[in-house]
Amino acid sequence: MQEEFSTKVKSELKNILDFWQKNAPDFEHGGFLGRINHFGTTIPESPKVIILNTRILWAFSAASNHYGDDRYKSECERAYSYLLERFKDSSQGGVFWELDYLGQPTNRRKQVYAQAFTIYALSEYYKFCQKPEVLNWAMELFNLVETHALDLDLEGYTEAFAENWDAIEDMRLSEKDLNAPKSMNTHLHIMEAYTTLFEVNPGAKVRQALENLILLFLDKFASDNNHFKLFFSEDWKNLSSEASYGHDIEAVWLMIHGARTLKDTDLIQKTEAFAVTVTDTFIKEALDEDFGVFNAIDYKTGKLDADKHWWPPAEAIVGLLYVSKITGDESYSSVAQKIWQFIDDEIIDHNNGEWFFRVDRQGKPYINENKLGPWKAPYHNSRACMEIIKLLA
């Protein structure tokens, strides 16, 4: 069974990367396109957002490291060059949030989430290219985040800043988010970025920052009902009653990965034990009868968001395989394989390639969502495939 599972995942990884290699480059204006709709049509003159571009660099760099060859070298170089030439703020430091289709900045704000994703992508790219300037830029961004965003009094990181790193009123990452100074989502991606940065540059400052982040997840973000709290005031008052199932299961395996990267025995034990608890709750609450993953629940009102987005099941499989290995219990692996079957049946677009952004509870795709866009990139699904292949090996 596991061999067959692994074979399917290897095949799908290639399909995902083929789609992005073929469809994503913007040969007319440089870099990568801003938007391809559900039907596979390029929407011309769409803005170019930093998250999509860093996730493309991360995915092709990680795939290069996974395969151990140069097959995606030109995609990596295209992505890196565009980030360096267009998104980098050479005067104030950091990266811009958004450019127009020609590559001119249209939103210069410094979202810490975006700085984190750039660190993550650069660190992964450095593993592949070994160019000192790539690591230097990653460390420059790390130092900017630690200087401007780290809350020295109350811990954690502030969400966003103006172009010159001054405070701003509206710190939201997207329209659907609360305007809160601290969020679980941003901290999650700083943690994953610092984990990869520590792999390539294991200095004391990065170690301390990563350790502090993992402890924040255990101490501040973890809730009494085995979820993660999502939005906070500056002084850590919980501002939300929603649990995001995808973030729950993604966070626990990233915490373990961070602790193992640090080789911190105490943190490894704590994160592994916590992962089992959260994963058991996830299996009870987050899965539909078809093994699709519900998006979210408001645990004060009980209102369920039963839509099934493309990324939570991908992260769920990785989390479940981690816990299966920790506990030696094959039942977690069995659930993971059933979730893969759901992805194969409902989420992968077998006609046009890539994965649908989301489907409703009956498995019907939402046609107003993107195949490629600001929030639709090859990162969650390609990473899940690479992690699954490693975990099953």
DSSP, res 31: S
Tens-level pLDDT at each residue, the chain (393 residues): 789 999 999 999 999 999 999 999 999 999 999 999 999 999 999 999 999 999 999 999 999 999 999 999 999 999 999 999 999 999 999 999 999 999 999 999 999 999 999 999 999 999 999 999 999 999 999 999 999 999 999 999 999 999 999 999 999 999 888 999 999 999 999 999 999 999 999 999 999 999 999 999 999 999 999 999 999 999 999 999 999 999 999 999 999 999 999 999 999 999 999 999 999 999 999 999 999 999 999 999 999 999 999 999 999 999 999 999 999 999 999 999 999 999 999 999 999 999 999 999 999 999 999 999 999 999 999 999 999 999 999
Print the SS3 string covering 75-88.
HHHHHHHHHHHHHE
- Domain extent at residue 211: 2-392
Looking at residue 108, what is its pLDDT?
A: 98
Task: Output the pLDDT for position 149.
Answer: 98
Quickly count: other Cβ atoms within 10 Å of residue 100's Cβ: 15
Kindly tell me the sign of the dihedral angle through the C-alpha atoms of 77, 84, 38, 7: positive
Helix (H, G, I), strand (E, B) or coil at 240: coil
The total of structural domains in the chain comes to 1
pLDDT tens, residue by residue, 222-274: 999 999 999 999 999 999 999 999 999 999 999 999 999 999 999 999 999 99
Q: Over the stretch 59-78, which tens digit does the pLDDT of each residue have?
A: 999 999 999 999 999 999 99
CA distances from 215 to 165, 194, 267, 314 (A): 26, 14, 8, 25
CATH of the domain at 323: 1.50.10.10
Q: What is the pLDDT of residue 176?
A: 86
Given this model, what pLDDT does residue 2 score?
86
Provide the pLDDT for residue 389. Answer: 98
Query: In sequence order, what are the beta bridge partners of 32?
Result: 25
pLDDT at 274: 98
Q: What is the 3-state secondary structure (H, E, C) of 258-305?
A: HHHHHCCHHHHHHHHHHHHHHHHHHHHHCECCCCCECCEEECCCCCEE
* 248 alpha-carbon distance from chain centroid: 13
